[in-house]
Structure 1
Amino acid sequence: MLKDWFKKTAQTIVYLPHFVSSVIIAGIVITAFSPSAGIVNTILGWFGIDAIYFLTKPEWFRPIFVGTGIWQEAGFQSIVYLAAIAGVSPTLYESAVVDGASRWQMMWKITIPSIMPTIIIMLIIRIGNMLEVSFEMIILLYQPATFETADVVNTFIYRQGIQGGQYDLAAAAGLFNAVVAFVLVMTANTISKRYSRTSLW
């Protein structure tokens, strides 16, 4: 009973953030790291550590942002890979067990090679989205104090082009962003097709 409860709770914590708005996720993060009522500073207070306003510290922005991104997307990514693993023929594992293979050997010799096409396709897609870098989440979390570490191409376009009225700069930066993303996807797809015979097209 306890095992089932833990399993369902863990699945909910991991899967749910992907299906929740980025605004809500950002609100949870801001509340959690709040210097007055945030759970992180509350725990630090138990150990006699003064409250830290993490979201105004440039050195803390990257760890918080990366951790939030992992939490938000890990559930959906795991669903994709679990579906790919479910498609692997059970007879391969049965044969490996008969031959005396360990779980570690089965993972490296059967599971990973079998889901490699899925891994490659997901990698190519992520490369194409690499320059996006969760623009919405950065906009929701960053402040002038963290511009030096939080700024990416899209937030720069937003601040300088849209807010600053420099529409020519915004258009040029946006075009640059699109061209670089296109080149990255084409390069990754070409390399993948050449060496693994798996590609998007």
Structure 2
Amino acid sequence: MRLHVTLRAILAAAAVALLVLLAPPQPAWAHAKLVKSDPANGATVSTPLTGVAFTFNEMVKQQFSTVVVTGPDGVSYSDGTPKSVDKTLTQPIKPLPPGAIKVAWRTVSVDGHPIEGQLTFTNAAPAPTTAAPSSEPPATSAAPATSAAAPTVAAEPASSDSGSSGVIWIVLGVVVVASVLAGGAVWWRRRSGTA
């Protein structure tokens, strides 16, 4: 009688383990995504801007955020560091010259995943009456930020998420197989002892 109970328990454990192994993998934690930008990518702006803003679907870490706004003259017009309020990241800017403006941004999701991108818009507002900002320090900071905006960086962490998910499934499979084998060994000993 005891043998049948043990055999049923082993079969039930094996069935549960099989269900766990065959269950579809759960999606990875979602990362912050850009919902909108102001100005929008490809837009033409006819009024002077004091900043550019990015709205995400979740909060981002301000201390790891950078935004570089570059004019057609190759000069950076970012003014200080970006500020994060709720789900919006805002970068103050100096008066922009007319022409194509490039914006490269990089931030970090609450879960630690870096995200980045870039956009361009056309500034059709009247030219600023003040002198253009100094090109020495901002120009050197513009080059690394622009190169950091390559989309391949965002793709690398996503592949590591799926890799770690695969490792979890392998470890889980080994645990299940070891449990089934241990249960079978216990059953075999008891069966041998009663025979």
Do they fold alike, i.e. is TM over 0.5? Answer: no
* Structure having the larger proportion of residues in helix: 1
In our comparison, the structure showing a higher alpha carbon Rg is: 2
TM-score range, shorter chain: under 0.3
Tell me the TM-score normalised to structure 1 length.
0.26
Greater strand share, 1 or 2? 2
